[in-house]
Structure 1
């Protein structure tokens, strides 16, 4: 029971950190350009993860050509495209709405698996997708910042594109060799992510005044690198390895709650009835998707 409690706390903290990344990202790109901040972030994260991989797993695992290709594609979709769309998106929309849309990733995985892998969508998944889409449409049509301004809508669409990138990252993981650990995957995608960002980061760095951002601004980059990319990863996988998939899925609902609460506290964004309806529908979609599956498995056993 104590081990399970620790696992629950670890997963809740991991998702709370992921939710906070929306808020921190919005603050970070106010002073530091998207590509430059992301390049620095993944350079730091990759360096730390390489050290951890050497310490805990005694070096890099052997990779086939297929593994390298899949890891590169994971990095392109789930790191490069995700980060670009997410960070440009949060510049145009609110942290609350960004967090709510980001939390629909499990449903996006189900939709892409249906179209790309021809996997069947179960009734529970279909209901979850409908609820999540209703939640996202509610905040887009009625709750967009600035009374439904086109900039907020574009921002929300960019966040949705980031979700598609993250969903592709998840699906591509199924193609990797089973001996490659989660830590190794995180290390490789962070390293490849840095390489993707490098030329764009250098271009932005040439005309960027590094003295302009204050210490607090640079701390956002460090937070993104060490807390979001490294610590959240460690907390999530240390917890998810000790519980069932159904239980771990429930904790993804912490993400939008964290994003909404922190957006209100840190960014001073107003939480409206539309946001309440939207987040309720999204969380209901998450619970239907993961909890009903768990219950049906228990009945079957």
Structure 2
């Protein structure tokens, strides 16, 4: 197996773990309060990433005040904000729809870059964004799935929360571009994970004070471990191995695996109902990813692996 094939396989597995996080997230929010679950996840991930960073770079990075401010914004949007919006969103919508919507991140990055960074978008990028909009619309308009998962809360509330999570992830990636010239991807991922843990800690302690820790089953605890170890740490390592071997525009296409894996795993493990709107939405989003990723290599903002591993 040549290096390119190994890279492709690594990125497929990495993005499949992200797709699986929507299924596992569904199970987690049924067993744990959201802030406590996130605190446990990022605490465990921090405990693994810190020694990994030290072993890989032989030292902990020195971070200036300005860079620390950027890291704080990254963690606030792409770790704390992303996780809260995603887990609350999973309470009000399906894992299938969440995975498809989250796959629109490359197009959202392009749109934010246009409005706030004044970057020019090509006709291909605008077409990719349009396909993403069509995909999200197809999920609701063609599936006819408007049933409330939580009584009294419309299904579109879940969609808006997942979209808010996508915006957080997109901002994470854009902020990360500022640091990418001074800090390694592993250093950025480790530091924002630690900061995310610190942000969640007071809320996690508050929820822990009234939580019955005998209630979760052994499987429930394993979901937390899976979220922290497989999605956050292993998935990160596989993704960055992959993107180090292939062009950024190529790796961006592999983010579509999130939608495919979320779709299949949700049907398999959560027994979610198949809707043609899901298939149509996934095809629109995948087409949008492919069209957007075909832009000129030099103008690509790489979808951040570390943000995706926060999913």
TM range (shorter): over 0.9
CA contact (8 A) 2:26 2:95 kept: yes
Q: Do structure 1's residue 121 and structure 2's residue 124 form an aligned pair?
A: no
Instruction: For 1:59 and 1:106, locate their aligned partners in 2 and report how far apart those are by CA, in whole Å.
Output: 33
Secondary structure of the corresponding residue to residue 255 of structure 2: helix
How far apart are 1:77 and its partner, in Å? Answer: 0.1
Query: 2:146 and 2:137 mapped to 1: Cα distance?
Result: 16
2:199 alignment partner in structure 1: 196
In structure 2, C-alpha distance between the alignment counterparts of 1:277 and 1:148, rounded to whole Å:
22
Which residue is equivalent to 1:37?
Answer: 37
Q: Per the alignment, in what secondary structure is the counterpart of residue 30 of structure 1? A: helix
What is the aligned partner in structure 2 of residue 251 from structure 1? 254
Provide, for residues 158-212 of structure 1, a one-character-per-residue CA deviation record: whole Å limited to 9, x for no partner: 0000000000000001222613000000100000000110111011001000000
Number of the residue aligned with 1:230: 233
Structure 1 partner of 2:106: 106
1:148 positional shift: 7.2
State which of 217, 222, 225 in structure 2 corresponds to 1:219: 222
**How big is each residue's C-alpha offset from its partner over 1:67-98, in whole Å with a ceiling of 9 and x where there is no partner?**
10000110000000000000000111001000
Q: Which residue of 2 aligns with 1:288?
A: 291
Deviations 1:188-244 (A, max 9, x none): 000000011011101100100000000001111111100111011000000100001
RMSD: 1.7
Q: Contact conserved, 2:122 with 2:295, CA < 8 A, in 1?
A: no
Q: Distance in 1 between matches of 2:52 and 2:80?
A: 22
Moved over 6 A (4+): none
Q: How far, CA to CA, are the matches of 1:148 and 1:92 in structure 2? A: 7
Tell me how far apart the structure 2 counterparts of residues 138 and 148 of structure 1 sit (CA, whole Å): 18
Aligned residues: 296
Taking structure 2 as the reference length, the TM-score comes to 0.92
Alpha-carbon deviations, 1:245-265, whole Å to 9, x = none? 121111111110000000000
Write 1 or 2 for the structure with the bigger share of helix. 1
List alignment gaps of at least 5 residues for structure 1: none
Tell me which of 217, 239, 244 is aligned to 1:241: 244
